[in-house]
Amino acid sequence: MSGEPTAYAVLDIDLDALVGNWRSLRDRLPQGAICAGVVKADAYGLGMAKVAAALAAAGCRLFFVAQLGEAVALRHLLPDAEIAVLNGLLPGEAAAFAAHRLIPVLNDLGQIAAWRGTGGGLPAIIHVDTGMARLGLPPGELARLAADPSLLAGLSLRAVMSHLACADEPSHPHNARQLAAFGAARAELPAAPASLANSSGIFLGPAYHFDIARPGAAVYGVNPLPGRPNPMAQVVRLKGKILQTRDIDRGEFVGYGSTHRREGPGRIATVAVGYADGWLRSLSNRGSVAIAGQRVPLAGRISMDLMTIDVTALDPQAASPGNFAELIGPGHDIDAVAAEAGTIGYEILTALGSRYRRVYRGGAAPYLPSEKTES
Ligand SMILES: *Cc1c(COP(=O)(O)O)cnc(C)c1O
């Protein structure tokens, strides 16, 4: 009627649930600690503009992104927020960092020297590697920094941070090793607020909380406690439209590679979501969806724009063209989809495609200062 393109699939993002998750994480931290918001990778695929605005309205004042470009985009949305860039300060970027009042997370001595070179005592976060060998000062560089305080002269230390490699495995011995290494590193550096915990790190207990926590995934509803009940509210629902259904006879093959063959007669429905939409091909013959509240299996390989599901067990009315199949929903959350795909909820979220019709709910509540408001 309106000439609008068909909504082949709808991604529903509940900003109230997202803000509720952030608040519940913040409330686990000690009084006065800062709960930052990690909104890298377009807020884990859910849309940085909407997510950051909702978090800011709820009182979040410190944001982490991965890349300078993300930070510049966020600066335009949030003129007053503190914005830190995890990937560090790359050659040639210092002027842009300064111009947009961004906080670089300095990962090596070269970056520290480059940021000091901008002058003016601009704030920075120093990242020390405590056992991940990914980003951050390696032990040798930390020792050189400790031996020569002039390397930090004129630099405003916003925080000292590190990152946990095994926070989602509470009993993993590496957590305590990193905690100890972080304490030792802080003792070598000038006094500054400390930051160690990501989402799962917050659940390792008060020893891991320090002054600033950096949750991402749990804010978006991913379970920070794999294998245990998820304390977070679900933020995302995804449904895809059934385009066509067909009866198949004994022994017909379904999809590319003819990897699926129904033994008896049955019904196949084709849904308008494929791997180009982030519905990972590893879900082929393994994933499931819900139609009218009933779970049905994927049948055959996922293709670029489509997937096929076995709806033999359903009332034909329920699985008729134009109806929706629920791909992510209350009974089958991001972590359940990830388990079927052989990956983690983070990858399911960040893979969510750009073709979905996105519907945002809530998030418009005004900012109500509370006792636990961040300074
Ligand atoms: C992505 C990231 C986070 C957020 O981690 P989650 O597990 O999503 O909570 C925190 N710190 C660093 C350094 C990161 O790269």
Of 91, 129, 138, 96, nearest in space to 111 by CA: 91
Q: Is the pLDDT of residue 292 over 80?
A: yes
Active site residues: 40, 256
Of 261, 271, 263, 345, nearest in space to 307 by CA: 271
State the closest ligand 1 atom to the C-alpha of 105, by its place in the atom list counted from 1. 13
What residue ranges line ligand 1, CB within 6 angstroms?
A: 38, 40, 86, 163, 198-199, 214-218
Q: Compute the distance from residue 38 Cα to the ligand 1 centre, in Å.
A: 7
Confidence of residue 2 (pLDDT cuts 50, 70, 90): low
Q: Say what the pLDDT of residue 367 is.
A: 46
pLDDT digits (tens, 9 = 90+) for 357-375: 999 999 865 444 444 444 3
Q: Compute the distance from residue 216 Cα to the ligand 1 centre, in Å.
A: 6
Q: Compute the distance from residue 300 Cα to the ligand 1 centre, in Å.
A: 35
- Of 38, 162, 178, the one to substitute when testing ligand 1's pocket (max ligand atoms within 8 A of C-beta) is 38
Supply the pTM of this predicted model: 0.94
Nearest CA, atom 12, ligand 1 = 163
Beta strands in the chain (DSSP E): 9-14, 34-35, 37-38, 62-65, 82-85, 103-106, 123-127, 156-161, 194-195, 212-213, 236-248, 253-254, 260-261, 266-271, 288-291, 294-297, 307-310, 324-328, 357-361
Q: Say what the pLDDT of residue 374 is.
A: 41
Q: Which residue has the higher pLDDT, 234 or 5?
A: 234
**Strands 253-254 and 288-291, how do they pair?**
unpaired
User: Could you give the C-alpha distances from 73 to 42, 83, 198, in angstroms and in order?
Assistant: 10, 11, 23
Q: What mean pLDDT value characterizes the chain?
A: 95
Confidence of residue 142 (pLDDT cuts 50, 70, 90): very high
pLDDT digits (tens, 9 = 90+) for 223-274: 999 999 999 999 999 999 999 999 998 889 999 999 999 888 999 999 999 9
Q: Say what the pLDDT of residue 370 is.
A: 46
